[in-house]
């Protein structure tokens, strides 16, 4: 009788466990379905605020991006970046178009019901160590994202329409001023942020890129001591003094947001990254970036 009771209790426990799993799966599916419905409603009821395309992940670490964002009420900003390999310096080209480019991209997005593509299997042929192409369409409080190494033809032909309209608008757009590479450097030179854990005792400031009105810089700290001005714990702290000086007028430019780090800090024998946003776009000319007691001259060209 005791053995029979044990069997019954064991069997009952298994049934209860299976029932609990079934309830958990059902709750997850319902919550996932509700989230999809909520996101679909947000996409349907709001305008597109940003488009992002990126390709990367190949054997050499090469990558490129195309971003279309709102510049102001009457224009859109096209930002293109390219890196020849993982450690290469980023090359940036930007264009200002007065056309409602985001509106045209949104029309293609809605016409082809791309909001449902994130739920589809977009995989084509698999390429070992091959690059992946990603698309992100941003709306108020949500976005639609999908990625694939190789899109089947029925998808790639529709995505190609987005690239065609961007290229068409670029021909009529105004190309914005850009950061000129320092003398002796070329676009395929190693990025100043590529070196990790320098130990030569040298402390220096370098420019990485100028994009979307953000001047990105790198502090290379080959010393054992942390770079001053980053806070006692060395993490998530703003540099206490960041300036951009117009060398022609010797005037300090007003800044919107001097910012340091992407969660990192310039500890001893390390690399620190940051960016600073001028109040207005930099005009062609010669400037100097100052971060604490470090300085770096640079030129903006048309």
pLDDT digits (tens, 9 = 90+) for 231-262: 444 444 444 578 899 999 999 999 886 554 43
State the pLDDT at residue 190. 65
Extract the tokens encoding 302: 């048309």
CA-CA-CA-CA dihedral for 230, 234, 235, 239, to nearest 10: 0
CATH code, domain with 125: 3.30.1560
In the three-class reduction of DSSP (H, G, I as helix; E, B as strand; rest coil), residue 139 is classed as strand
Range of the domain at 204: 179-301
More confidently predicted of 262 and 109 = 109
**132 in any annotated domain:** yes
Do 141 and 201 lie in one domain? The reply is no
**261 in any annotated domain:** yes
Do 183 and 133 lie in one domain? The reply is no
**75 in any annotated domain:** yes
**30 in any annotated domain:** no
Q: Cβ distance 244 to 276 under 8 Å?
A: yes
Do 140 and 253 lie in one domain? The reply is no
**39 in any annotated domain:** no
Lowest mean pLDDT among 39-48, 75-84, 165-174, 241-250: 39-48
**27 in any annotated domain:** no
**139 in any annotated domain:** yes
Most confident of 192-201, 234-243, 291-300: 291-300
State the pLDDT at residue 263. 32
Distances (CA, A) of 182 to 49, 65, 296, 298: 35, 23, 10, 7
User: Over 60: is that where the pLDDT of 224 sits?
Assistant: yes
CATH code, domain with 208: 2.60.40
Return the closest-CA partner of residue 241 out of 225, 256, 230: 230
Do 187 and 261 lie in one domain? The reply is yes
Do 157 and 215 lie in one domain? The reply is no
pLDDT (tens digit per residue) in 126-159: 666 778 899 999 998 899 999 988 888 889 999 9
Query: Which strand ranges, in their side-by-side order, compose the sheet holding 63-72?
Result: 142-148, 132-139, 50-56, 63-72, 75-83, 91-97, 174-175
Extract the tokens encoding 284: 């062609």
In the three-class reduction of DSSP (H, G, I as helix; E, B as strand; rest coil), residue 18 is classed as helix
Do 157 and 250 lie in one domain? The reply is no
State the pLDDT at residue 15. 62
Query: DSSP state, 73?
Result: T
Q: What is the pTM of this model?
A: 0.77
State the pLDDT at residue 3. 58
Which residue intervals of the chain are DSSP H helices?
A: 2-45, 101-111, 153-172
State the pLDDT at residue 82. 92
State the pLDDT at residue 266. 76
Please state the φ and ψ torsions of residue 224, each to the nearest 5 degrees. -80, -25
Please state the φ and ψ torsions of residue 232, each to the nearest 5 degrees. -65, -40
State the pLDDT at residue 104. 96
Question: How many domains, in total, are found in the chain?
Answer: 2
Do 203 and 229 lie in one domain? The reply is yes
State the pLDDT at residue 43. 87
Do 218 and 199 lie in one domain? The reply is yes
User: Over 80: is that where the pLDDT of 31 sits?
Assistant: no
Q: Is 254 exposed, middle or buried (0-12, 13-18, 19+ CB in 10 A)?
A: exposed
Extract the tokens encoding 12: 């009952």
State the pLDDT at residue 189. 60
Please state the φ and ψ torsions of residue 271, each to the nearest 5 degrees. -115, 135
Which one of 143, 176, 209 terminates a domain? 176
Do 172 and 55 lie in one domain? The reply is yes
Most confident of 221-225, 242-246, 269-273: 242-246
Which one of 116, 141, 176 terminates a domain? 176
- How far is 289 from 280, CA to CA, in rounded Å? 15
């Amino acid at each position: 009788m005791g053995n029979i009771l044990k069997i019954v209790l064991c069997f009952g426990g298994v049934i209860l466990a299976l029932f609990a799993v079934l309830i958990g799966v059902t709750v997850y599916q319902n919550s996932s379905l509700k989230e999809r419905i909520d996101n679909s409603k947000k996409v349907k009821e709001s305008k597109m605020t940003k488009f992002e395309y990126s390709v990367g992940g190949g054997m050499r670490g090469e990558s490129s991006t195309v971003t279309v964002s709102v510049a102001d009420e009457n224009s859109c900003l096209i930002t293109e970046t390219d890196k020849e390999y993982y450690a290469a310096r980023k090359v940036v080209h930007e264009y200002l178009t007065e056309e409602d480019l985001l509106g045209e991209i949104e029309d293609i997005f809605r016409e082809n019901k791309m909001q449902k593509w994130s739920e589809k299997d977009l995989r084509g042929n698999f390429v070992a160590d091959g690059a992946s192409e990603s698309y992100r369409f941003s709306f108020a409080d949500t976005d639609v994202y999908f990625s694939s190494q190789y899109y089947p033809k029925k998808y790639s032909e529709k995505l190609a329409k987005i690239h065609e309209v961007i290229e068409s608008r670029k021909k009529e757009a105004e190309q914005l001023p850009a950061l000129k590479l320092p003398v002796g450097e070329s676009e395929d030179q190693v990025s100043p942020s590529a070196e990790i854990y320098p130990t030569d005792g040298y402390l220096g400031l370098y420019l990485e890129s100028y994009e979307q009105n953000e001047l990105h810089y790198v502090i290379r700290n080959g010393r054992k001591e942390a770079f001053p001005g980053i806070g006692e714990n060395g993490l998530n702290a703003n540099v206490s003094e960041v300036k951009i000086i117009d060398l022609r007028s010797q005037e300090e430019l007003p800044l919107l947001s001097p910012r340091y780090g992407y969660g990192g800090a310039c500890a001893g024998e390390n690399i620190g990254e940051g960016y600073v946003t001028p109040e207005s776009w930099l005009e062609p000319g010669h400037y100097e970036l100052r971060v604490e007691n470090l300085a770096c001259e640079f030129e903006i060209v048309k």
